[in-house]
Structure 1
Amino acid sequence: MRIGLLTGGGDCPGLNAAIRAVVKRGLGEYGHSIIGFRNGWKGVAEGDVMPLTRNDIRGVLDTGGTLLGTARFHPHSADGGLDAVRATLEAERIEALICIGGDGTLHAASKVAETGTKIVAIPKTIDNDVAGTDRSIGFDTAVHIATEAIDRIHTTAESHNRVMVVELMGRSAGWIAVQAGIAGGAEVVLTPEEPFDIDRITRYLKHRHRAHASFSIVVVAEGAVPAEGTSMEWETKYGTFGEIVSGAVSERVAEEIAARTGFDTRVTVLGHVQRGGTPLPSDRILGSRFGVAAVDALQQGHTGVMTALRGEEVVLVPLEEVAGRAKPVPAELIQVANALA
C-alpha cells in the first residue's frame, strides 16, 4: 500500500516520534511505502512529496518540530483545493492518508474523506483541545515548559514585590494555562471557558497583598475575555490570518491590575517557546503509540477515524464526530486552579 503522510497546523514536540512510528511500522511490519507531503495540506495540493525511508527517520525521536514541515492551509477553504488534492493523490498513486494535526487539519481531513479518500487522523496540538481524545501530542511538553517558566517567574516576582502576568497559548481552551497554573502555583488563572471579572480579581489581589504576600502570579490564556457587564471593556485582537494577537490580552489585564491596585505589574508572554524544543518522554511515547495505531488501522481496513487516548488505551473514534469540535477544560479543573490561591 502507498500511504501518504502529512503534518499540518502549528508544530509541536512529538511530531517526529509519530512520523518515525508510521514509517517503521508501515515499512517494517507490512512492507508499505510511506510518501511524506511537505508543509501539510499545502504540500498535498501542490504535489510536494518526500518518500520516507528508515534513513530519513534516524535520530529524530528526540527532535522537536516536524521533519515534513507544516503550514496552516485547508484545501476545502481554498479555490480548487479539494480538486488539487485529489489530483495529487491520483498522480502519486496514494491509496490512503495519515494526517497528523489539530482541529483545523482534522476538519480538513474530514472534508477530504468525504471525497472518498481513505484517511486515518492523529491528534496533535499543544492546546489539547481536540475532541474525542484525553490527550494530544505536544501538550505534556508545552505544560512542562510553561510550568518551568512560572517557577522561574516566581522568584523574580517575590524579589521585586510584583504582580507578574504570564500569557500562555490557548485560543479557545485554556488547558495549558490551567494545568501549568496549578503546577506552578499561580494565584489567578484566566481561561476562555470562564470569562473573568477584573474587579473581583483586583479585590482579591489587594486582599492577598495586605494579608500575607507581597507578590502574585496571574496566568492568562491568550483567548481569555472579560465577562459581559463587568467594568473592563475588551475586544479580542486578531492578526492577518485570524490568529489572536500575542500579548494583547495580558498587556491589558496588567494595565488594569496596575491602575486598580497600584502594584508594580509586569508581563511575560511565552508565545512560541511553548511549541519548541525536545519532547518529553510522554509525548515521544504518545506519538509512537498513535503512529503504530494509525498504520494498523489502515491495515485492518479502517477509514474516516482518528486515533485517541482514552484512559490508558489507544482507541479509534469516527473522524466525523470530532472534526471541527473543540474540547473545553472541565469547570472542576478550572475551579481547582483558582481554589489554591
Structure 2
Amino acid sequence: MSKAKRVGILTSGGDCGGLNAVIRAVVRRAREWDMEVYGIKGATQGLMSRPVESELLDMKRVSGILRYGGTILGTVNKGNPFAYPLSDGETIDRSQEVIDGYHQLGLDALIGIGGDGSLAILRRLAQQGNMNLVAVPKTIDNDLGATENSIGFNTAVSVAVEALDRLTYTAISHSRVMILEVMGRDAGHIAVSAGIAGGAHVILIPEIPYDLDKVCDRLMNRALRGFNFSTMVVAEAVKTPSGEPVRYTNSLGQTLYGGIGQYLGDQISTRTNMESRVTILGHVQRGSTPSPLDRILGAAFGVAAVDLVAHKQYDRMVAWINREVISVPISEAIAQYRAVDVQGTLIRTALGLGTYIGEID
C-alpha cells in the first residue's frame, strides 16, 4: 500500500479472557498490511469523548499482553449512545458524537469486539455514519448462533470446572451438597459444559424445566447408596419452580441475576435435611487469565479481521465453523441466537452419565 490505513479497535460489553489476544493479533497482522491501529479506550465512550480517547498501538504496546485477562483498552456494558442515560433519569441520543469521533480520528475502518447487543449497536452506528465495521464475536455465554465459539467462553468454563473440582474435595470432607452458580444470562452453555467436565450430579439450565422434588430425590438416592456428597451446577438465569427469575438490585439501581443457587440450597436443606453450601462464581469467570483455546481463537479472529479490512470486506463478522475461520454478515450473526440444544450432544451426554438435567420431553 502506498498509504497506511488507519484502523480503530475497541472492546465493548462485558470483559472476558481472550480480548487482549485479539488486540495483539490485530496489531501484529496490521503491520504486515502497513496499517496503523488506534485503540479506542472505553468502547463508544472513548469515541464520544473530546478529544477522542485513543492511543496508537504498536508492537511494544501489545508485547506480552497475550496472557493478560480483561482488556487493555477498557470496556463498558452500559451507556447505549442511541439512548444515553442522564443523571436525571432521562436519555438523549449521542450517536452522532460517536460517529464524529470515528471520522475525527480519520479511521478507514473499525474493528469492534463484542456480543450480540454491542454488535447491534455498532452496526447501527456504522450504517448511520458511513463507518466501515468488521466484528469479532465475544461472549462468555457463547450464544451467538453464527459461530461455534466466541471469545471468553472457554476461559469461563475452565474457571468453573476448576471451582467445581475444588468444591468437590470440601463436599467429600464435610458430607455436603455443594451448589455452584455460574453465569449464563439467557443460555446454559457454561453450566452444561462445566457440569459435565466437573462431574456434577445435577445440572440446571434455563432452557430445560426441572422438578425440585426429583432434584432432591436424586441427591437422597446418592446418600442411600453410600455416597456422602453431591455437586450441582446451576446457571444464574434458572427460574424457581414457579417460574420466577431470581434477581437483585444493586446500589446503582441495576437489576441483575443472582441468587438461584441460594434458593435451591435452602430448599434442598429443608426438604432433605442434607447440609448444603452455595458458591456464586460471578466475575471470577470473566477476569481470569485466558485459556489456551481463547488465546488461539483470539489470534485467529484478529488476523482474519484485519484481512477483511485489507480486502474492504466490511459489515462482516469473523466466525469459527468446522475448525476454520470464516466471515458472515453481521446482520446474520446477531440475528442467530443459540440456546443450548436440548436434543444435542451435550445434553445426551449428561443424560448418558446419569446426571439430572431437568425434565426433557
TM-score for both structures, normalised by structure 2: 0.88
Cα deviations across residues 222-277 of structure 1 (Å, max 9, x unaligned)? 11114xxx5x563331435655243x111101111111111001101111111123
Residues 132-143 of structure 1: pairs in structure 2 closer than 5 A: 132-143=146-157
Shift of the 287–241 alpha-carbon distance from structure 1 to 2, 3 Å rule, reads farther
Aligned match for 1:234, one of 240, 244, 261: 244
SS of residue paired to 1:205: helix
Q: Which amino acid aligns with 1:24?
A: R
* 1:257 partner SS: helix
Alignment counterpart, residue 179 of structure 2, candidates 156, 165, 177:
165
Whole-angstrom CA distance in 2 between matches of 1:313 and 1:243: 38
User: 1:142 deviation in Å?
Assistant: 1.4
Q: Does 1:112 align with 2:125?
A: yes
Q: Which of 148, 154, 157 lines up with 2:168 in the alignment?
A: 154
In the alignment, the residues of structure 2 paired with residue 184 and residue 323 of structure 1 have an alpha-carbon distance, to the nearest angstrom, of 31
Q: Secondary structure at the match of 2:66?
A: coil
Query: What do residues 24-67 of structure 1 show as CA deviations (whole Å, max 9, x unaligned)?
Result: 111x2111111111111221222211221112101111111111
SS of 2:277's equivalent in the other structure is strand
Counterpart AA for 1:236: V
What residue is the counterpart of 2:268 in the other structure? 257
SS of residue in 2 equivalent to 1:275 = helix
Runs (4 or more) in structure 1 with deviation over 6 Å come to none
| TM-superposed deviation, 1:166 | 0.5
Q: Can you give the 5+ residue segments of structure 2 that lack an aligned partner in the other structure?
A: 85-91, 356-361
Structure 1 counterpart of 2:48, from 45, 49, 58: 45
Q: Cα offset for 1:139?
A: 1.3
Aligned residue number for residue 108 of structure 2? 95
Name the aligned partner's letter for residue 23 of structure 1: V
Q: 1:180 to 1:49 in 2, by over 3 A?
A: same
Contact 1:110 1:323 in 2 (8 A): no
Note the alpha carbon deviations across 1:45-95, whole angstroms, 9 max, x for none.
222112211121011111111110111133233222211111111211112
| Residue in 1 that maps onto 2:82 | 76
Q: Residue 271 of structure 1: SS of its match in structure 2? A: coil
What SS does the aligned partner of 1:143 have? helix
Quick check: 1:76–1:111 contact (8 Å CA) kept in 2? no
| Structure 1 residues 51 and 287: alpha-carbon distance in aligned structure 2, compared to 1, 3 A threshold | same
Give the whole-Å Cα distance in 2 for the aligned partners of 1:270 and 1:19: 27
Q: Superposition pairs for residues 14-53 of structure 1, below 5 Å?
A: 14-26=18-30, 28-46=31-49, 47-53=52-58
Question: Paired residue for 1:4?
Answer: 8
Contact 1:188 1:338 in 2 (8 A): no
Distance 2:34 2:321 in 1: 29
1:175–1:329 CA contact under 8 A, matched in 2: yes
- Asked if residue 319 in structure 1 is aligned to residue 325 in structure 2, the reply is no
* Preserved CA contact (<8 Å) 1:168 1:219: yes
Distance in 2, Cα, partners of 1:315 & 1:180: 27
The alignment-based identity, stated in percent, is 43
Q: Which moved more, 1:237-246 or 1:300-309?
A: 237-246
Q: Which residue of 2 aligns with 1:244?
A: 256
- SS for the counterpart of 2:73 is coil
Structure 1 residues 335 and 15, CA gap change in structure 2 (3 angstroms) = same
Among 298, 313, 326, the residue aligned to 2:309: 298
What residue is the counterpart of 1:286 in the other structure? 297
Q: How far does residue 196 in structure 1 lie from its aligned partner after superposition?
A: 2.0
Report the Cα distance in structure 2 between the residues aligned to 1:271 and 1:327, rounded to whole angstroms: 22
> Partners in 2 of 1:321 and 1:277 — Cα distance?
30
Q: Please give the secondary structure, in 1, of the residue aligned with 2:256.
A: coil
Structure 1 unmatched ranges of 5 or more: none
Which segment is superposed worse, 256-265 or 207-216? Answer: 207-216
Q: Is the 8 A contact 1:36 1:49 kept in 2?
A: yes
Amino acid across the alignment from 2:247: K
TM-score, normalised via structure 1 length: 0.93
| Maintained 8 Å contact 1:107/1:324 | no
In 1, the alpha carbon distance for the partners of 2:229 and 2:243 equals 26
Structure 2 residue aligned with 1:123, among 115, 119, 137? 137
Confirm or deny: 8 A CA contact 2:238 2:245 kept in the other structure.
no
Identify the match of residue 62 of structure 1 among 51, 61, 67: 67
Q: Would the alpha carbon gap of residues 235 and 330 (structure 1) be closer, same or farther in structure 2, given more than 3 Å must change? A: closer
1:111-153, CA deviations, whole angstroms, 9 ceiling, x for partnerless residues? 1232131101001122211221000111111111111111111
